[in-house]
């Protein structure tokens, strides 16, 4: 049997480097005079944002900027686009990097603080006063489409994003109907997230000379990230370069996610001409990650 015949193990080429301490993570990439970013998040699942007062926080030591959705819109940028579309009827809601007027899940980003250090950015974030008006919310997937369940988006009152049907439903129902014994169960799958070795992290740069944005990401699909980021930042559609060095392992869930913080790390570059770095934590990923999901499989 040859070395690459079917069934033969093929060792990963990166193993020797990783097993001997050669892996590099986002914290290993640092540039002179880079700034740090921190995200202020919503404690509510559903609420209107009545006001954001960042006056006191803006004057704190080391703080360079506090950005909100209004700043993002004022710069002419657009929404993040969904890269995975199931069908033409799929609802695609507005998706700016920072919540605009209303938050729709716990941990949704409300403001992005830029400071000399992470601690300074955190201190400033704690001084930002956000006035919320709480709205009805639901956390049970099984009743998400019930008539009395609050709508996440007014355009979709039944909370249905899309409907997808595959296979042969009529033949399947007929087979079950003709079966001598049918076992029927509902399978709830609890909320699932990926506990990666390295949470999401980004390092963004704006080059004023050629007006070019560069975003270094820990994800494994920089081309997709760059395309989505460039489309969202309307003023820089062809000047956003995203790269993800092949340096580490254990970041599977970071791969193809063009999250809001990628945009926050690069936009407003013309105002803050410095490297900006944002690193998430496992606590943030587990409590606020939009990719987490709670599923319920039931026969129909």
CATH code that applies to domain 31-136+192-297: 3.90.1170.50
Q: Which residues contact 102 (CB under 8 A, 6 or more apart)?
A: 46, 47, 48, 49, 135
> What are the start-end ranges of the H helices in the chain?
15-19, 55-58, 69-74, 118-126, 169-178, 222-232, 260-266, 282-288
For the beta carbon of residue 274, count every other beta carbon within 10 angstroms.
16
CA distance 242 to 195: 24
pLDDT at position 257 is 43
Domain ranges of the chain: 31-136+192-297
pLDDT tens across the length of the chain (300 residues) = 677 788 888 777 878 888 888 877 877 877 778 899 999 999 999 999 999 999 999 999 999 999 999 988 887 777 777 766 667 778 888 888 899 999 999 999 999 999 999 999 999 999 999 999 999 999 888 898 999 999 999 999 999 888 777 889 899 999 999 999 999 888 887 777 777 777 888 888 777 788 777 777 776 555 545 444 444 454 555 677 777 665 555 444 444 444 444 444 444 444 444 556 777 888 888 777 766 667 777 666
Q: Where does residue 276 fall: left (phi above 0), alpha (psi -120 to 50 degrees), or beta otherwise?
A: beta
């Amino acid at each position: 049997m040859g070395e690459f015949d079917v069934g033969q193990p093929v060792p990963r080429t990166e193993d020797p480097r990783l097993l001997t301490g050669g892996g590099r993570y986002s914290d290993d990439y640092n540039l002179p005079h880079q700034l740090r970013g921190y995200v202020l998040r919503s404690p509510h699942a559903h609420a209107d944002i009545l006001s954001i007062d960042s006056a006191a926080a803006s004057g704190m030591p080391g703080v360079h900027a506090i950005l909100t959705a209004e700043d993002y819109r004022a710069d002419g940028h657009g929404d993040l686009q969904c890269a995975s579309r199931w069908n033409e009827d799929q609802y695609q809601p507005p998706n700016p990097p920072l919540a605009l007027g209303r938050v729709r899940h716990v941990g949704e980003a409300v403001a992005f603080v830029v400071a000399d250090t992470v601690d300074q950015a955190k201190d400033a974030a704690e001084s930002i006063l956000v006035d919320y008006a709480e709205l009805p919310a639901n956390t049970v997937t099984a009743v998400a489409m019930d008539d009395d369940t609050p709508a996440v988006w007014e355009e979709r009152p039944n909370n249905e994003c899309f409907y997808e049907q595959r296979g042969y439903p009529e033949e399947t129902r007929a087979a079950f109907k003709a079966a001598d014994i049918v076992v029927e169960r509902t399978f709830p799958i609890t909320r699932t997230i990926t506990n990666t070795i390295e949470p999401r992290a980004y390092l963004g740069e704006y080059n004023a000379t050629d007006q070019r944005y560069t975003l270094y990401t820990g994800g494994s699909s920089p081309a997709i990230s760059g395309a989505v980021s460039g489309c969202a930042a309307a003023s820089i559609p062809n000047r956003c370069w995203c790269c993800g060095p092949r340096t580490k392992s254990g970041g599977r869930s970071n791969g193809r996610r063009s999250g809001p913080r990628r945009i926050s790390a690069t936009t407003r570059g013309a105002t803050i001409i410095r490297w900006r770095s944002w690193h998430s934590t496992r606590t943030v990923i587990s409590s606020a990650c939009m990719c987490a999901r709670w599923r319920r499989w039931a026969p129909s």
